[in-house]
Structure 1
């Protein structure tokens, strides 16, 4: 699913995005980073379940919203960013174990910022060694499974 995203700039390092269907707003210093953040915002807004897009163009927006869109705005149709299920599983394991991110950081010899990165749903750098340490620190079993795709 792709969502209408309105992109504007108020200077060379001031980019803004609005996804009207999901009330997502993002700001960044570059257009590329803005698009990345807008896609992440869309993914987070859809975490509780799918919400089909309603707007595919400016004509689909309410007149008051349409009136506020600058004439030089760029209109994009963006898909949500992929979310890493490993990060979500680490977050759930922390909750089940009743352990804070700060305590996990202490147990695995990392920084709180490092553990925060591990539970970031858009982080994809988990190593198997680190997952083993997290599992041991949470007194949990680690299972890795590869499944075949339907053809």
Structure 2
């Protein structure tokens, strides 16, 4: 009996078994990736401007706990209005783009 020497990444196995075959799960995964990307970008900009969450909150006119939630990859309540307020306070602007998807996603 021959031993298998190749290994497959665990994430690849999970994706193949549980996500790839389900349009609903693909949509959920894309939404989670977008939430994480927004959170990372807010955190990056805040760090780039050498601000604490409290300092950014003061600039935006909110509380530090709101900034903390916005920087949490699991947070799903990002509003365009709040993103604009954050961007403006950091001399930035929000840009929204629509780009083609690599694979067709359909709501289940």
TM-score, normalising length: structure 1 = 0.46
Which has more strand, going by share of residues?
A: 1
Cα distance between partner residues in 2 of 1:99 and 1:139: 14
Cα distance between partner residues in 2 of 1:129 and 1:53: 38
Question: Does residue 109 in structure 1 map to residue 93 in structure 2?
Answer: no
Which has more helix, going by share of residues?
A: 2
Cα distance between partner residues in 1 of 2:60 and 2:80: 14
Residues 95-142 of structure 1 deviation map (CA, whole Å, 9 limit, x = unaligned): 111121110111111111111000001111111110000001111122
How many residue pairs align between the two structures?
Answer: 79
Moved over 4 A (4+): none
Please give the root-mean-square deviation of Cα atoms over the aligned residues, in Å.
2.6
Gaps of 5+ in 2: 1-7, 20-28, 104-108
Counting only pairs closer than 5 Å after superposition, residues 41-52 of structure 1 correspond to structure 2 as 52=9
With CA pairs under 8 Å and 6+ residues apart, which has the higher RCO, 1 or 2? 2
Cα distance between partner residues in 2 of 1:118 and 1:78: 28
Cα distance between partner residues in 1 of 2:51 and 2:93: 16
Counting only pairs closer than 5 Å after superposition, residues 5-84 of structure 1 correspond to structure 2 as 52-53=9-10, 82-83=32-33, 84=35
